[in-house]
Amino acid sequence: MKKLNVLFVAILALAVLAVTANAQFKIGSEVESFTLSDSNGTERTFDGLKGKNGTIVVFLSVRCPVVKAYDERLNKITEDYSAKGINVVGINSNYTETAEKIKKHTEDNYKFTVLIDKGNVIADKFSASATPEIFFFDKAGKLVYHGGIDNNKNSEEATNNYLRDALDANLAGKVIVKAETRAFGCTIKKQN
Amino acid sequence: MTAFCLAPSVAFAQKNKTGTKKKNVVILPKITVVNGDELKNLLKSTGKPLLVNFWATWCDPCREEFPDLVKIDNDYRGKIDFITVSLDDLEDLKFVVPKFLWKMKAKMPAYFLKTVDEEKIISEISDDWQGGLPFTILYNSAGKVVYSRAGKIKTDILRAEIDKTQNSNTLETQKVSPK
């Protein structure tokens, strides 16, 4: 009976920890700098990659067709907003994708830095679960938008540009009307 | 429901025992195309537990878990309702999706979600679905969500959750049955 009680308490503690971990990262949360290797194997700090007016973190995958469908849109966002002081940082947390493939895919497809998140530490920290999933931090490092890039993987059919709307509102000092959306795509293949 | 059903027959060239090629005509599974509102109607309680799997042929874990889902369908047929909802590209509706279902020997009713707003549908289905595929959700006989899983299913856990809905159904029946 005593063992059962101990087990119950341990399970309860784990459950509380899990809930707390998820609750830690929400709109308004601040991101602490972290260090990961980029697709070329160079160690990079998040602080060193941040834009002066904000930073878009996008979780990516080499294999996910939905990510591929968004590649062009992501590059266009990078072009359009880097001039406005907002940087894009990609993170690949899929344990099923090799560093070589991520390096080649980044070179072939992206105009921004892609970090490799071994052991999905950052994905877990952010509670990220899908690709492409967006976390937009304002210039103070606070999460102000989380979710999808827009509402349709086919660019011609997208009618709500959630991320662009969030970026424009934030740059204009306005409240982001839709600060949380869902990110349709593939699940991140996590190690645990 | 303005559903559009597909049950195309397709000829496959297969080698027989003597090594010569022979054309076999197969009937591919029927797939019903639904929009967001029609999908929501499908999720309304009919008095039986309902298992729903959202998937796509381009999704690796979706394909990997499908044989387990087919086994679950075989084991629980008649006890629960089970439907699959494909979020594939429209161009894959005619051949790629039905061919996969045929290969898997899938017998559960198959639907294809046609929507211009993926984000809206996902947010309406479940608070626990961030948007990644696969997503599996189990409703009890009262239509309440009792289990959901983003990512590949853990078969033992899903089976245990389905069994729980069966046990609670039995208890409910006992409560209302006259002696």
Q: Tell me the C-alpha to C-alpha distance, in Å, between residue A149 and each of A132, A153, A183, B55, B125.
A: 8, 9, 7, 21, 19
Q: Rounded to whole angstroms, how far apart are CA atoms B29 and B105?
A: 9
Residue B92 DSSP label:
G
* E strands, chain B, in order: 4-6, 9-15, 21-27, 31-34, 50-55, 81-86, 110-113, 132-133, 135-139, 145-150
pLDDT grade for A35, boundaries at 50, 70 and 90: very high
Q: Residue A191: how many CB atoms within 10 A of its CB?
A: 13
pLDDT at residue B7 in the model:
56
pLDDT at residue B25 in the model:
79
Of all residues in chain B, the one with the smallest CA distance to A127 is B130
Question: Average pLDDT in the B68-96 region?
Answer: 96
End-to-end CA distance of chain B: give it in Å, rounded: 41
Residues 6 or more apart whose Cβ sits within 8 Å of residue A167: A54, A56, A77, A81, A84, A86, A136, A145
Contact B132 A148 (CB under 8 A): no
Do residues A88 and A58 lie in contact, with contact meaning Cβ atoms separated by under 8 Å?
yes
pLDDT at residue B27 in the model:
85
Q: Rounded to whole angstroms, how far apart are CA atoms B25 and B56?
A: 25
Do residues B111 and B85 lie in contact, with contact meaning Cβ atoms separated by under 8 Å?
yes
Q: Rounded to whole angstroms, how far apart are CA atoms B43 and B19?
A: 48
| ipTM over the 0.85 cut-off | no
Q: Residue B96: how many CB atoms within 10 A of its CB?
A: 15
DSSP-derived 3-state class of residue B148: strand
Tokens describing residue B90: 């429209």
Q: Which residues of A make CB contacts under 8 Å with B?
A: 63, 65-66, 96, 129-131, 133, 147-148, 150-153, 157, 159-160, 162, 181-189
Q: Which 3-state string (H, E, C) describes chain A? A: CHHHHHHHHHHHHHHHHHHHHHHHCCCCCECCCCEEEECCCCEEEHHHHCCCCEEEEEEECCCCHHHHHHHHHHHHHHHHHHCCCEEEEEEECCCCCCHHHHHHHHHHHCCCEEEECHHHHHHHHHCCCEECEEEEEECCCEEEEEECCCCCCCHHHCCCCHHHHHHHHHHCCCCCCCCECCCCEEECCCCC
Q: Rounded to whole angstroms, how far apart are CA atoms B26 and B103?
A: 11
Rounded to the nearest integer, the mean pLDDT of chain A is 90
Residue B134 DSSP label:
P
- Interface mutation target, options B86, B87, B119, chain A, most CBs of A under 10 Å: B119
End-to-end CA distance of chain A: give it in Å, rounded: 31
Condensed to tens digits (0 to 9), the pLDDT of residues A38-78 reads: 999 999 999 999 999 999 999 999 999 999 999 999 999 99
CA dihedral for B85, B89, B90, B96, sign (positive or negative): negative
Element housing B163 (H / E): helix B155-176
From A62's Cα to the closest Cα of chain B, the distance in A is 12
Does the CB of B96 have a partner CB in chain A at under 8 Å? no
Condensed to tens digits (0 to 9), the pLDDT of residues B118-143 reads: 899 999 999 999 999 999 999 999 99
Residues 6 or more apart whose Cβ sits within 8 Å of residue B123: A181, A182
- Interface mutation target, options A120, A124, A133, A186, chain B, most CBs of B under 10 Å: A186
Contact A129 B132 (CB under 8 A): yes
Q: Specify the pTM.
A: 0.83
Contact A63 B60 (CB under 8 A): yes
Residue predicted with more confidence, A126 or A2:
A126
Of the candidates B85, B79, B84, the residue with the CA atom closest to the CA atom of residue B48: B79
Q: Rounded to whole angstroms, how far apart are CA atoms A111 and A77?
A: 10
**Alpha carbon B116 to chain centroid, angstroms:** 21
> Residue A88 is which amino acid?
V
pLDDT grade for A18, boundaries at 50, 70 and 90: very low
pLDDT at residue B176 in the model:
45
